[in-house]
Structure 1
Amino acid sequence: MGTSFVGRQTELALLESICSNAIAEETPSAVLISGPPGSGKSRLLTEFSSRQRGLRPLRMAGYEAGNRV
């Protein structure tokens, strides 16, 4: 069993609302989620993706040009 999802309900609800609106309006939509390492970006996206029945959200990752990978 995975860990419970705590403390990001507002952000999760916003993502779900954006997704619902994109589906209802039949238009693509994009969201940028940014934050420092360890702030829960990946966990938020994992939780959001797991709730999207029949959909496959596109996930991309990037890095600042000045930072080494």
Structure 2
Amino acid sequence: MRPETRSAAIAAAVILVGAVVVIYFLPSLVLWIGQYSPALAFVVGAVLLLGFFWIFWLRARYQRRR
């Protein structure tokens, strides 16, 4: 396996594991925050879900420049 292929595989694995952890704990986190402020719970949920796509967008921009 070439070094750049290994690096891409490791990066994808880290992003995937991070996304699975966030999505697994997201409902309980949003419900817990929603006890204090429903609007804040919405914002936190939206930021965490959009963050997943933002990371892939940033990675694509970085790869396009390289």
TM band (smaller chain) = 0.3 to 0.5
* Higher percent of residues as helix: 2
Does 1 or 2 have the higher relative contact order (CA < 8 Å, sep 6+)? 1
The structure number with the bigger radius of gyration is 2
TM-score (norm. length: structure 1): 0.35
TM-score (norm. length: structure 2): 0.36
